[in-house]
Structures are given as C-alpha cells and as structure tokens.
Amino acid sequence: MDKKSLVTFIQSNSRATSEVVDYIASFFDEKVIPRHDYLLRAGAISDDYFFLTEGFLRVFTLDADGNEVTTYFYSSNRAVFDVSSLFMRIPSTENIQALAVCKGYCISFDTLNKLFHSLPEFREFGRLMLVKEFAAFKQRTLALINKSAEERYLDLIGTNKEVFQHAQLKQIASYLGITDTSLSRIRRDLSKKK
C-alpha cells in the first residue's frame, strides 16, 4: 500500500514540513483487518493508533443487559483509537470491529510516545487529533439530548452516508439511541416527504 493518504492526512492536520511528515509516516506499519475481525476487543488494553485508509469500523459496547450498543462509526481517512485505553493504559470497555475489510497504517503506543517526546510537530498533530475526537464525542453526546431522533438520523446521512452500506439497521438504531422500529418509521416518513 502507498502511504500517500497517510502523508496527506498528517500534512492536513499539522504544520510540519514534508520531510518531517515523511519521517513520521515512516513509523507507521501497514495493517489489514479482515471483515468481522477486531482492531480492539473490550477488556484488552489498546496499543494501536490506527489510520484507516479503506474500509469501515464500528465501535460498540454492551449495556447492563448484555445488548450491543453502537457508540461510533469510522469511515476512511480517520484516525481510530480508544483514547482512554491507549493513553491511560487501562482495559477498553468498547470493541472496535471491521464491518468491511479495513486497510490502513498503525503505530504502537511506545513509538507514538517516543515521537510525542522527540518531535514538537508530532505533539501538535496528536493534540489536534485529540481535540477533534473530543469535539466529535461532545457533539454526539449533546445531540442525544437536544436533537430529535429524526434530526440525528439526518445528521448521520449528511456526515456518514457510507454507514448505510456497511452497518445493520439495528446497529444504526442503537447508535442513534432509538429502537429498530423507530428507525424504520423515521425512514418511512422521510421517504413519503420526498
């Protein structure tokens, strides 16, 4: 695989020179995750900072009754990691599963730390990635409170239409915080408005 997309991603999220970006990219190794396999399983400590170039990932946890609840979806050209598990070195409470064959590049926690401490440009890149992920998490949390189910559904269509090609409707419904029946009703009502 060509690291061009990784290089472009780092360049677009940092002020590093092309030489420094190439140097950073040299520490990332190719990784392929077969469909239905896991980047991370609940109970394990995350050791991978993964840049997804191709494919689709679902993040999910189990509720108190043992039901799967989807907490996030990742499409290509995204950094994928469990921030708490990776940086605090604690077991993850979430699973990150490939819903399609996923290809990308990963860097281990130890190598990531070495780059953080030795390269100010990488520190800035890492800080920006954390801020973006925190902002996305905050927006999602607030949307569950201050937006209707239909608005959340329309937001998902607008920001991640690919989800409908890869995820099951029950996974999408749990991500939206609604039942499968409610999701079917919303989809039916919206199709009538067209």
Domains contained in the chain, CATH given: 4-146 (2.60.120.10)
Query: Predicted confidence band at 46 (pLDDT cuts at 50, 70, 90)?
Result: very high
pLDDT of residue 23: 94
Q: What is the mean pLDDT of residues 85-112?
A: 96
- The token duo for 191 is 């199709």
**pLDDT tens, residue by residue, 10-35:** 999 998 999 999 999 999 999 999 99
Residue 122 has which token pair?
Answer: 């990488």
Length of the chain in terms of residues written: 194
| pLDDT score of 173 more than 70 | yes
Strand residues in the chain grouped as ranges (E): 29-33, 38-40, 48-54, 57-62, 68-74, 78-80, 95-98, 102-108
Beta strand 68-74 with 57-62 is antiparallel
Cα(80)–Cα(16) distance, integer angstroms: 21
Name all contacts of 142-147 with Cβ < 8 Å and 24+ positions apart. Answer: 144/177
Amino acid identity at 124: E
| Residue recorded with tokens 């609604």 | 178
The Cα–Cα gap between 135 and 57 comes to: 19
Question: Widest CA span of the chain, in angstroms?
Answer: 57
Return d(Cα 153, Cα 150) in angstroms, integer. 5
Q: What pLDDT is recorded for position 72? A: 94
Q: With left for phi above 0 and alpha for psi between -120 and 50, is residue 73 left, alpha or beta?
A: beta
Quickly count: other Cβ atoms within 10 Å of residue 104's Cβ.
Answer: 28
Residue for token digits 């239905």?
A: 36
What mean pLDDT value characterizes the chain?
Answer: 93
